[in-house]
Each structure stands twice: as structure tokens, then as C-alpha cells.
Amino acid sequence: MVDNEQKKEKLSHYDFAFAGGLSGFITRALCQPLDVLKIRFQLQVEPISNNAVSKYRSVFQAVTLILKEEGMKAFWKGHIPAQFLSVSYGVVQFWCFEALSKEAHNQKLLKSLVPVINFSSGFIAGGLATLASFPFDVIRTRLVAQSEQKRVYNSFIHCAQELVKKEGPMVMFRGLWPTVLQVGPHAGIQFMCYKFFNDLYKLMADSSNTSFSNSLVSGSLAGLCAKTSIYPFDLVKKRLQIQGFEEGRNIFGKTFQCSGMTDCLVRIYQVEGVPGFFKGLQPSLIKAVCTSALHFSTYEMTIKCIGYFREQ
């Protein structure tokens, strides 16, 4: 990244793009169940507590109930569009970040500007990656939101076709505005924190190399910091993405209707209070720690493998 270890300088942008895509694929395959849990909590209007009217009341209870009602495969609902989302996001994000940070390094800027460069590069990379992958996010959310007992969409392709046919092409970017507001800061904070914890780990371990354990720990802490800082926007995005989907949602309890980001924020506060903005935060933080750790560690290890084969 900004420190540009010598081996990385020999790699092309395509190498970084491949590593980013592969890390996204592996991370998504392993962490999809946590994403399903997070989305189910985010879309529930009723309180997430030991309340008789709430369908999902805790992580353990939700896991048990989903297994009972929908089976194990429900935890991988929307996995195909989610993989397209992760791979396309990973390719664009890491390719852009490495390209921007390498260009900044070539300008020989002051070392004191490194955190700012990491944040700015991550901000831009995250924004571009979101635009490229957002339609897959909408499809993924719709598939995860529906119940097996009342299916509206039969597959990834069917969902995409029905969305465009019934709600128009722009539905594929519904919820983009709160996403834009959160993804830049999220990516910027994530990369900045990753570099900070990565450098701190190297200092404590008295090593100049990025090890697997370093990437794992640094990525986990970076994900925790980034996700907590922007979580309400993620929840609003999910609420906007299911507007017009009452047919497949009424089995889960009350439906939520809003006409835009501002209206969504106001209605969540009026109906659910401040805690409503943090529904699903617990599985989301678990997911953030796991995905960030896997994303960065698999990315760094893939880069090392590519560098190794380049030298042979």
C-alpha cells in the first residue's frame, strides 16, 4: 500500500485487481450467513428484544428460527449476486487504491501525509467500487429479505428481470445516496486504520514484513472501527432497497415505508427511536471483523504468492 514494499512495486494493476477479486470471493463464501442475519435484523421494524411481537429477538434465536423455518440453505440466500457484488467491489476497490497510493508515493510526499493519502485513496476507491457493484447489492437484499414460505423471486436472474420490469431500471440504484455517504468514509477509515494497526503490529513485532497474523489482526480492528462509524447509513440503505416489496415481506411482521433517505431517517426515529438505527449491529460487527480480517489477509497473501511466482 502506501509504504509500497519492493515486491509490490514489481506488480501490475491487474495483479492487484485479481488479488482483490479473489479475496472478495473467499470472504463472501465464508461470511454470507452473517450477512443474512444482519439484513434480517435491519429490516425488522419491531424491537430486537425478548418481545412476543418480534420475529427475531437475538442472534441465537434468529439462527434457530431460520434453521427451523427455512433450513440451512437460507443462510446462503442471495449468494450468487453477493459473490458478483464482492468480486466486482474487491477488484475495483483494491485496483484503485493501489493505483492511487502508488501514484502518491511517486510524488514523494511528506511521510506525515501518509494517513491522509490512505484515507483519500480508500475514499475514492470505495466510492468507485460501490457504483460498479451496487445493482448486485439490491438483488442480494431482495433475495435475502424474502421468506422460503412466500417466495417472490426464484433466482438471481428472475429477481433482476422482475425488478427492472415492475419497478424500472433505476431500482437497481435505490439506496445509492446513503451508500455514497457511508462508503467513502467507511473505505477511507478502513484503509487508514488498517495501515495504522499494520504499522503498529510491525513495530511491536520488530519486523518490516506484513505477515498473515498481522493482516488478520489489523484487518479485524480496521473493520470494527469502520463499520461502527457508518452503521446507520447501512441500515437506511437496506430499508430503501426493499421499498415496494411488501408482497414478500409481510410474513416477517410490520412493513416499513418511506419516500427517500431523509424520510427514512425521520420515520425510523419516530417509530423505533435511536436504537432503531443500530438494529443488527451485533451480527454486523461480527461480520465486519471476520470479513475485514479475511479480506485483507487473503489479499496480502495472494499478492505475496503472485510476487513469488513473478520472481521464479
pLDDT at res. 122: 81
**What number is the average pLDDT over the span 105-127?**
79
Which are the contacts of 137, defined by CB distance < 8 A and separation ≥ 6? 81, 85, 175, 179, 241
Which are the contacts of 297, defined by CB distance < 8 A and separation ≥ 6? 212, 215, 216, 219
* Tally of residues, the chain: 312
Task: Name 150's bridge partners.
Answer: 147
Grid coordinates representing 144 are 435475502
Q: Tell the CATH superfamily of the 6-311 domain.
A: Mitochondrial carrier domain (1.50.40.10)
pLDDT in tens, 218-275: 888 887 888 888 888 889 999 998 887 776 666 677 888 888 889 999 999 999 999 8
Residue 9 has pLDDT above 80, yes or no: no
What does the alpha-carbon distance between residue 135 and residue 121 come to, in Å, rounded to a whole number? 23
- Its sign, for the CA torsion 240, 74, 36, 133, is negative
pTM for the structure as a whole: 0.67
- List C-alpha distances in Å: 63 to 56, 67, 83: 9, 6, 22
Grid coordinates representing 256 are 416499513
- On whether the CB atoms of residues 149 and 132 are closer than 8 A, the answer is no
When pLDDT is cut at 50, 70 and 90, the band that residue 4 belongs to is very low
Q: Provide the residue ranges of all domains of the chain, joining segments of one domain with +.
A: 6-311
